Structure 1
Amino acid sequence: MFELQNLQRRALLCGSGALLLATLAGPTRAEERSADQILQAADAVRNPPGSFSVRLQLTEYRQGRQSANSVLIVYARPSPDSGQYRNLVQFVTPARDAGKLMLRNGTDLWFYDPSSSASVRISPQQRLLGQASNGDVMTTQLARDYRAERVGREPLKDGDGVQRDSLHLRLSALREDVSYARVDLWVDATDDRPLMARYFSAEDRLLKTAYFRRYETALGRSRPSETVIIDGLDSGWVTVMRSTEHTLREVPEAWLQRDYLPRFRAQ
């Protein structure tokens, strides 16, 4: 848990404004692109192109002790109209949740429980496990939901403890139905890797801080295999989200329809 404790302290430092602006020697490729272009590049690091599936393991910690665990499989397919991902999330563990589903198609988010055969509308802001909300486990293109502006170029210690030259972007929601009203995102200035994000409510309250770390090769490029999410008020409340088994696959259109949920079977 030593690593998590370091991240907790780092999140507090970031919240107090300890990040300093870096001195730039001259214009570089990063400065030649718009903030929206940089955000699009960061999206491409997080998300494989086309349809795919990924296995997520969520582990919640309270004051350094594991308190809950969950495993999900996310099926994602880009919409031909908006380019935003549509998602079907299958619950695998714990046993009491096995077989439950979440569906996101456009702005609609549904939860399906096979024990009642009922699907109900839910919010992406609702907590799923610990600091991970329903929206956090969904595959999203941030550039489709937010307008980006450049804050500056800053030194940042990433989630693996390495000092990075980063670009700080401020993202403002384009619609009210997105998970967060504002996001501050730091990406590596050399390769657009997302490093850290801070998520804010409509009242400008810090909800959580996330570190994207442990980059591994998945589907042709280096992507974060772990996201550490720290509560905005209680730094001892941490959720770790690990991704494995990235697989390019056809996600059938039928799976992404609400009336198909009772017929879905694990593949």
Structure 2
Amino acid sequence: MKSIVLFLFSFLFGSGMAWSAPSADEILAASDAIRNPGRPFSVTVTLTEFQGGKQVDTSTLTSYSRIQQEGSQFASLIRFVLPARDAGKLMLKNGNDMWFYDPTSKASVRLSPQQRLLGQASNGDVATVNLAKDYKATLVGDEEIQDGERRTRKAHKLALVAATPDVTYASIEMWVAAENNRPLKARFFAESSRLLKTAYYRRFQPQLGAERPTETVIIDGLNPQSVTLMRFSDYKARAIPDTWMQRDFLPRFQPD
């Protein structure tokens, strides 16, 4: 028995096949793959704003997302569904460009991803994003934290610094479950290093081939009584034409 153990040890560690821990960028990419399906899809996003525990506003959107042909980043077309006054309005994020289209005026205007959409949720928060494509990650260490369902979890803590211009946040601290790379918690910062918001990812459910978070709780960085809940439902794999992701196509878009 001892000889077998020595053989295995020699094979694994003495033959150039030693196991190595995943890098920070690999951990972040694995977390991205849990948050986002790797194929074109649509999802319903419901935003609910709370102040002091009381609901004050809500909005429902449908997001259509697909990987861009170049760069492996998502492009997203977001259609407003509710409230009725906003129904039919569109937002488009393609690369670092973001546009808003109002069918009443038939005009499209450039948007900032940092601009608030509802409560603590910004325009950039509702667009599907692979963080590993826009940020450089560093592994800070391992910590025990409370997740969004108040369970203690061992997590990799990552420090993310923007690698491309015009991203939604200058830097992010992110905690990823050590056992399965699930995103657990993130803190988002402005260029001034001011904490903008904290997010908890929770209620993981089977969606398009993986256990994905179906709720994100976003807490204001200055006022913890200001909370926005993002719910994700009705995931569907679907064909999404490249034309949908072009600004010139916005006036002709018709949901099926």
The aligned residue for residue 185 of structure 1 is 174
Q: Which amino acid aligns with 1:206?
A: L
Distance 1:125 1:165 in 2: 31
Match of 1:57 among 46, 57, 62: 46
The aligned residue for residue 130 of structure 1 is 119
Q: Does 1:160 align with 2:188?
A: no
Match of 1:104 among 93, 96, 108: 93
Shift of 1:220: 1.1
Q: Normalising by structure 2, what TM-score? A: 0.92
- The 8 Å contact of residues 124 and 134 in structure 1, kept in 2 or not, is answered as yes
Unaligned runs of 5+ in 1: 1-28
The aligned residue for residue 249 of structure 1 is 238
The 3-state SS of whatever aligns with 1:99 is: coil
Distance 2:244 2:24 in 1: 34
The aligned residue for residue 174 of structure 1 is 163
| Equivalent residues in 2 for 1:36-115, closer than 5 Å | 36-115=25-104
Distance 2:160 2:33 in 1: 17
The aligned residue for residue 203 of structure 1 is 192
The aligned residue for residue 9 of structure 1 is none
The 3-state SS of whatever aligns with 2:30 is: helix
Q: Which amino acid aligns with 1:221?
A: A
Shift of 1:107: 1.2
Match of 2:226 among 202, 227, 237: 237
Distance 1:105 1:166 in 2: 32
Shift of 1:30: 10
Following TM superposition, where does structure 1 have runs of at least 4 consecutive aligned residues deviating by more than 6 angstroms?
A: none
Distance 2:209 2:164 in 1: 32
- The 8 Å contact of residues 30 and 189 in structure 1, kept in 2 or not, is answered as no
Q: Does 1:259 align with 2:245?
A: no
Q: How many residues get paired?
A: 239
Shift of 1:31: 6.7
**Distance change (3 Å), C-alpha of 1:259 and 1:164:** same
Distance 1:256 1:182 in 2: 27
**Distance change (3 Å), C-alpha of 1:105 and 1:170:** same
Shift of 1:212: 0.1
Shift of 1:176: 2.6
Distance 2:71 2:190 in 1: 25
Unaligned runs of 5+ in 2: 1-17
The 3-state SS of whatever aligns with 2:60 is: strand
Distance 1:31 1:54 in 2: 36
Summarize deviations over 1:138-194 as a string: whole Å, max 9, x none: 000000000000111000110011110100000000123000000000010000000
Q: Normalising by structure 1, what TM-score? A: 0.88
Q: Which amino acid aligns with 2:211?
A: S
Distance 1:80 1:102 in 2: 20
Q: How large is the RMSD of aligned CA atoms in angstroms? A: 1.2
- The 8 Å contact of residues 99 and 114 in structure 1, kept in 2 or not, is answered as yes
Pair member with larger Rg: 2
Shift of 1:265: 1.2
